[in-house]
Every structure is written in structure tokens, then in C-alpha cells.
């Protein structure tokens, strides 16, 4: 039976149980979670777009940026799903990073060089706001869950062996 100090250590160093289980659910459930995160971020960010621009162009620019970042997160999650094995961890990292960064960057460059109302309304600023939120959520979903019985090693022990 674990001692109270063991319980505190595990509770303080881990994610709550329901969120930990989310990492091991189906791809569709994890994609829905990303959608919920995007809508929640939009509920916080988009009112500022309306207030700053004074019209709905800022709202549309923010929604477009959120949609682009959500599309990138969904694509990265889906394409890296077959690579969710320890042997393919580096490939999963590279595929996810390329997709997750490439799509918003390409959209931001296209809007910037084309100009127009989206660029004038601050599309690039909204990408900068949505991108880290979606990055954190998608990274959390693709990380392997730590097993409870797994021994914790200090970085020196892990390096030395």
C-alpha cells in the first residue's frame, strides 16, 4: 500500500486522472477535445478582436486564425497517429512539428503578402495568440502517458545509465 507521501508525489507530479485518460482515447475524442480547446480560446480572444477593430472584420480575422490553427492541430494529430509507438517517437515529433507549424505559417505568409481586410484586421496577431494554445493542447494529447509503476530517474541517472 502506498504511503501518504507517495500519493502526494504522484498527485503533484501528474495530470488529473480524467485528463490522463484523454491521452489514451480514440483519435476522434482527442480531435473533439482540440475543437473544445479552440472554441474556448476563441471565446476569450475574439471579443478583443471585436473591441479593438470596432467592427466584425477583427472578429473574422480572429476566427480565421483560430480555424487555421485548429486545422493544423487536427492534421498533425491525424498524421502522427500511426507513429504513436516508442520506436517512431522522433518521426512523430518531426511530422507533427512540420504540419503544426507549416500550415499556420503558410496561411500567415499568404495573408501578409496578399494584403486585404484580413491582414489589416490583424490576422497575424491572432495566429500568434491561437498558435501556442493549440500547440500546448495538441502536444499534451500526443505525449505518452507515464505509467504509475514506472521508476523515475534523475536526468544524470538516465544519461549515465
pLDDT tens, N- to C-terminus, the chain (161 residues): 444 444 444 444 455 667 677 777 888 999 999 999 999 999 999 988 788 877 888 899 999 999 999 999 999 999 988 888 878 888 888 999 999 999 999 999 999 999 899 999 889 999 999 999 999 999 888 877 655 555 666 666 655 55
Residue 48 located in a structural domain: yes
Residue 153 located in a structural domain: no
Residue 38 located in a structural domain: yes
Report pLDDT for 12.
Answer: 42
Residue 4 located in a structural domain: no
State the residue range of the domain holding 140: 22-144
Long-range pairs for 76-81: beta carbons < 8 A, 24 or more residues apart: 76/100, 76/138, 77/27, 77/30, 77/31, 77/34, 77/138, 77/141, 77/142, 78/27, 78/31, 80/142, 81/27
**C-alpha Rg value of the chain to the nearest Å:** 19
Residue 118 located in a structural domain: yes
**What's the structural domain count of the chain?**
1
**Global pTM?**
0.77
Residue 36 located in a structural domain: yes
Instruction: Please name which of 76, 52, 15, 29 lies closest in space to residue 129, comparing C-alpha atoms.
Output: 52
| Torsion over CA: 48, 51, 53, 56 (sign) | positive
Residue 77 located in a structural domain: yes
Residue 50 located in a structural domain: yes
Report pLDDT for 58.
Answer: 87
Amino acid at each position: 500500500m502506498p504511503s501518504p507521501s507517495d500519493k502526494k508525489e504522484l498527485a503533484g507530479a501528474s495530470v488529473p486522472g480524467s485528463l490522463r485518460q484523454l491521452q489514451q482515447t480514440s483519435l476522434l475524442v482527442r480531435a473533439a477535445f482540440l475543437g473544445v480547446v479552440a472554441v474556448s480560446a476563441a471565446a476569450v480572444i475574439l471579443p478583443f478582436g471585436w473591441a479593438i477593430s470596432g467592427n466584425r472584420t477583427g472578429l473574422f480575422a480572429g476566427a480565421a486564425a483560430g480555424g487555421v490553427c485548429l486545422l493544423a492541430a487536427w492534421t498533425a494529430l491525424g498524421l502522427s497517429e500511426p507513429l504513436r509507438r516508442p520506436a517512431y517517437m522522433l518521426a512523430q515529433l518531426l511530422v507533427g512539428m512540420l504540419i503544426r507549424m507549416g500550415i499556420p505559417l503558410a496561411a500567415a505568409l499568404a495573408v501578409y503578402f496578399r494584403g486585404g481586410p484580413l491582414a489589416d484586421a490583424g490576422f497575424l496577431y491572432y495566429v500568434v495568440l491561437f498558435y501556442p494554445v493549440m500547440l500546448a493542447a495538441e502536444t499534451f494529447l500526443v505525449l505518452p502517458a507515464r505509467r504509475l509503476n514506472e521508476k523515475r530517474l534523475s536526468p544524470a541517472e538516465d544519461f549515465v545509465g
